[in-house]
């Protein structure tokens, strides 16, 4: 046991000090920032500015109706954006301020003149809402800022509301009745457990699952490479003078696993800081999604998944003699983990379907799939218990078999062993 902890300590300190560990530890929070804060900043681009538009209509009444609806749509869009992002007050996107003029000159000369003004940046946009265009439900919007989806959505919403209001007015409804009829309904989505917005729940769980996938994949392969490097450099022969093969394999798995847990802890603390400072769009909802129970299950399934795959990777590292041979076999070992990610989209649609149930019970896909089911819609407790039991039993069996392969393979050099030879190693080791 003492040798196991010495080897684990050496593996841990050796990897924590490497440049790749530091880069990955910093890179993931940076990517988290890029995929959460940057899109919000892009969506906020142009908020608080004043845009000058001209509405060209066949008559002044239609033009004024479109203008009023554009201003109203702008106010509602700013309100909806601030509520949906869940940001703090200082990051709240402001509504787009509009200055809208009305013109009844729908001639081709007027259209060309307005288009030239937009081109010369004298106008921000020209909307041609003539009677023919409204009847055809196809309105032209000349603007330089074609990448701002928020502005285009506001213009589209305003014109749509104007068309509906005009139709209702022609049927004899008063303006208050029209406003009451067209007032949107606010939808407050919640999960059955009351965890808040399902969108926030989904993206938070998806982030946890992907962190588990990346770390298990990355550090399982690191175990294989560590064994392969020491085997090719003949360091193994020196280490075997003081430690048994089982102690060496356990020490490497524990040491590299501790590195993974350290990195996850740093990422988790960074995520908590982002959420507490309201730097992420759903920061206000993440606190309601991440329960202590969910974090405990994350740790359990991460450790079980890591033990399963790192044990298999340790056996591969002991069998092969070069990086090329290892790459050919590691894909076969990691295939169940990759399949788990591929079927995740279907699992989210039907967490209790047959595919989800069997994939969450199969030990090599259970670490990701069962955790995903627990986070989205907790399955029966007996399924969770059975999944953990099967993973523990499989891990025990793999450790037993791979330890035998490891014991013989670390001292075997030359060609890659065949399957019958591996069976002999397991039988006689």
Sign of the CA dihedral with 356 first, then 361, 362, and 365 last: positive
pLDDT score at 85:
43
Question: For a pLDDT cut of 70, what percent of the chain falls above it?
Answer: 73
C-alpha 319/C-alpha 11 separation (Å) is: 20
Per-residue model confidence as pLDDT tens digits over 13-55: 877 887 877 877 777 777 766 666 666 655 555 555 678 888 8
Question: For a pLDDT cut of 90, what percent of the chain falls above it?
Answer: 3
Per-residue model confidence as pLDDT tens digits over 410-424: 666 666 667 777 777
Per-residue model confidence as pLDDT tens digits over 194-206: 445 556 666 767 7
Tell me the pLDDT band of 262, cut-offs 50, 70 and 90. confident
C-alpha 55/C-alpha 150 separation (Å) is: 18
Closest CA to 200 of 139, 285, 135: 285
**What are the domain boundaries of the chain?**
2-37+197-428, 46-182
pLDDT score at 398:
79
C-alpha 302/C-alpha 308 separation (Å) is: 10
For 379-384, what is the mean pLDDT?
90
Average predicted confidence (pLDDT) for the chain: 75
Tell me the pLDDT band of 92, cut-offs 50, 70 and 90. very low
pLDDT score at 389:
94
pLDDT score at 382:
92
Closest CA to 121 of 100, 144, 103: 144
Asked which of 86-95, 284-293, 309-318, 368-377 is least confident by mean pLDDT, the reply is 86-95
Identify the top-confidence range among 20-29, 165-174, 235-244, 296-305.
296-305
For 62-75, what is the mean pLDDT?
77
pLDDT score at 86:
43
pLDDT of 409 strictly over 80: no
Higher pLDDT residue, 190 or 395?
A: 395
pLDDT score at 101:
87
pLDDT score at 147:
58
Per-residue model confidence as pLDDT tens digits over 95-147: 567 788 888 888 888 888 888 888 888 888 888 888 888 888 888 888 877 65
pLDDT score at 390:
93
Tell me the pLDDT band of 404, cut-offs 50, 70 and 90. confident
pLDDT score at 426:
67
Higher pLDDT residue, 71 or 92?
A: 71
Torsions phi, psi for 53 (to 5 deg) = -120, 160
C-alpha 391/C-alpha 267 separation (Å) is: 26
C-alpha 156/C-alpha 168 separation (Å) is: 19
Q: What is the pairing mode between strands 140-143 and 125-128?
A: antiparallel
pLDDT score at 200:
61
Question: What kind of fold does domain 46-182 have according to CATH?
Answer: D-Maltodextrin-Binding Protein; domain 2 (3.40.190)
C-alpha 109/C-alpha 87 separation (Å) is: 46
Per-residue model confidence as pLDDT tens digits over 285-334: 455 556 778 778 888 888 888 888 888 887 777 777 777 777 777 788 88
pLDDT score at 387:
92
Q: Are 55 and 67 in contact (CB under 8 A)?
A: yes
For 263-280, what is the mean pLDDT?
68
């Amino acid at each position: 046991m003492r040798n196991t902890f010495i080897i684990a300590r050496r593996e841990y300190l050796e990897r924590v000090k490497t440049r790749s560990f530091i880069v990955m530890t910093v890179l993931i929070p940076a990517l988290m920032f890029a995929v959460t804060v940057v899109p919000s900043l892009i969506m906020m681009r142009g908020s608080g500015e004043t845009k000058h538009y001209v509405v060209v209509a066949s008559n002044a009444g239609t033009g004024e109706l479109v203008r009023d609806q554009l201003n109203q749509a702008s106010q509602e869009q700013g309100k909806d954006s601030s509520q949906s992002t869940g940001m703090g007050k200082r990051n709240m996107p402001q509504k787009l301020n509009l200055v809208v003029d009305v013109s009844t000159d729908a001639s081709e000369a007027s259209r060309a003149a307005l288009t030239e003004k937009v081109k010369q940046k004298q106008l921000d946009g020209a909307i041609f809402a003539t009677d023919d265009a409204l009847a055809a439900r196809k309105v032209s919007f000349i603007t330089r800022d074609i990448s701002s989806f928020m502005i285009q959505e506001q213009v589209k919403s305003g014109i749509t509301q104007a068309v509906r209001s005009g139709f209702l007015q022609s049927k004899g409804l008063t303006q208050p009745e029209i406003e009451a009829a067209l007032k949107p309904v606010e939808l407050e989505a919640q999960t059955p457990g009351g965890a808040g917005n399902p969108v926030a729940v989904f993206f938070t769980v998806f982030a946890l699952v992907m962190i588990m996938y990346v770390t298990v994949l990355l550090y399982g392969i690191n175990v294989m490479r560590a064994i392969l490097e020491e085997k090719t450099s003949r360091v193994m022969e020196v280490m075997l003078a003081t430690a048994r093969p089982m102690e060496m394999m356990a020490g490497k798995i524990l040491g590299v696993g501790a590195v993974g847990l350290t990195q996850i802890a740093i990422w988790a603390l960074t995520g908590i800081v982002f959420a507490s400072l309201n730097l992420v769009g759903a920061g206000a909802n993440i606190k309601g999604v991440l329960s202590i129970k969910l974090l405990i299950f994350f740790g359990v399934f991460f450790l079980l998944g890591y033990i399963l795959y790192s044990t298999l990777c340790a056996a591969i590292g002991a069998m092969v003699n070069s990086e090329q041979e290892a790459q050919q076999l590691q894909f076969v070992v990691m295939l169940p983990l990759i399949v788990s990610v591929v079927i995740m989209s279907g699992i989210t649609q039907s967490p209790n379907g047959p595919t989800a149930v069997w994939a969450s019970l199969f030990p090599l896909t259970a670490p990701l799939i069962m955790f995903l089911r627990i986070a989205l819609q907790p399955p029966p407790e007996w399924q969770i218990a059975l999944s953990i039991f099967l993973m523990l039993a499989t891990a025990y069996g793999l450790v037993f078999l791979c330890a035998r392969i490891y014991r013989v393979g670390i001292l075997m050099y030359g060609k890659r062993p065949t399957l019958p030879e591996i069976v002999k190693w397991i039988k006689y080791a």
